[in-house]
Chains A and B, each alone.
Chain A
Amino acid sequence: MNRALQHLWTPLAATPLLWLALTVAAYVAGQMIQRAVRGSALASPVLIAIVLVACVVLATGTSYQTYFAGAQFINFLLGPATIALAVPLAKNLSLIRSNFHSICLALLAGSMTSIVSGVAIVWLLGGSRTVALSMAPKAVTTPIAVAVSEQIGGVPALTAALAILGGIVAAVVGQQLLHGLRVKDWRAHGLAAGVAGSGVAAAQVASRNELGAAFAALGIGLNGLLTALLLPALLLLWR
């Protein structure tokens, strides 16, 4: 039995198909779990899928490289999906233009808060400089975060994981938190999700409201731009 399984497994584990199917299946399972707990944001399908896939990959002794070689087709679609955010952005351009000053202020404040608090907390709790540098760009959309992390001397893979996990945190607590602070406007919710939680949090807002999607898309793009320019300059102050 074991031999038969191995016989099946060995050729399949090397093809993209298995890891592709596993990734989609894990995400669908995550969505079903979320539906079962009445759509609670705590049951994030992204988080559930990552945990499920990681368990399978670790349990079968597969390397991350082998897994990613298969799942990279899904990863590739991140590019077109980022471009697709242009649609809600273009549809709500007049609203964005009329709020331009507050968007700039909120972006600058939120971006600086994310960078400085991330680095400061790691440093205060005795974390290493490498981890602090990997933490600094984590609020930014994953591809920019990885590029910036590499540039400033962090660990790109750690930053990628932190960017996604931070996005999950923002998606899970963001809406309740802002409601608690009496912020009840999709423009503020969308921008906060885009600036502090990048793609994962933006995807959550985007699936619920189109105006929120537009401001989230703007938040992702502008924060990516700002952090890529600001962070290397800020680090000159911290040697």
Chain B
Amino acid sequence: MLIAFLTLIGCQLAGEMARAAFALPIPGPVIGMFLLAAALALRSRYPKAGERTFDDAFERTAETLIANMGLLFVPAGVGIIAEAGLLRQEWLPILVALFGSTVLGVAVTGLVMHWTMQPRKPQADTAFGPIPARPRIQP
């Protein structure tokens, strides 16, 4: 668990350093994500004997963080109270643009992906059935 956490913040640190060194316009964690993904991909392509690509503890830590990611957005989200003045003045354009633009973005991305990608064989687990009546609780 500690090694897993160290891997994660180590990658973040590497990402931050890469950002500073090359003056990249992308935040450190996102660079770190690509770095770690590349490392994991290399490791699964050239496996060492007796070594597993995804160690259980590492995978569990990553999954726990992802499953509870919603909580991590709360402190920044509360920041909306600091912008109360602007919100009161321009609530209509903000509300309509936020909703309209997000819905359009989801629809266009999903549709273009749907139209252009190759269909998968039916047994593949990419497709999902009807929405379950009682979905799992999500963050």
Contact = CB atoms under 8 A, between A and B. Distances in A.
A99 B126 CA distance: 12
Given A90-B41, A170-B105, A221 B34 contact: yes
Contact of B73 (A93, A101, A142): A142
Given A24-B71, A86-B36, A144-B26, A169 B103 contact: yes
Contact of B127 (A90, A142, A174, A184): A184
Interface string B15-36: 1000000000111111011111
Contacts of B76: 75, 78, 142, 160-161, 164
Interface of A: 23-24, 26-27, 31, 34-35, 38-39, 41, 44-46, 49-50, 53-54, 57-58, 64, 67-68, 71-72, 74-75, 77-91, 93, 95, 98-99, 101-103, 105-107, 109-111, 113-114, 117-119, 121-122, 124-128, 130-131, 135, 138-139, 141-144, 147-148, 151, 155, 157-158, 160-162, 164-167, 169-171, 173-179, 181-189, 191-193, 195-197, 199-204, 206-209, 211, 213, 217, 219-221, 224-225, 228-229
Interface of B: 5, 8-9, 11-12, 15, 25-30, 32-37, 40-41, 44, 53-54, 58-59, 61-63, 65-67, 69-83, 86, 90, 92-94, 96-114, 116-118, 120, 125-128, 131, 134-139
A50 B81 CA distance: 10
Nearest to B15: A83
A51 B120 CA distance: 42
Nearest to A46: B70
A23 to B, nearest CB: 5
A216 B36 CA distance: 16
B98 A192 contact: no
B79 A139 contact: no
B86 A155 contact: yes
Contact of A53 (B32, B78, B120): B78
Contacts of A103: 113
Contact of A84 (B66, B100, B125): B66
A117 B118 contact: no
A84 B61 contact: yes
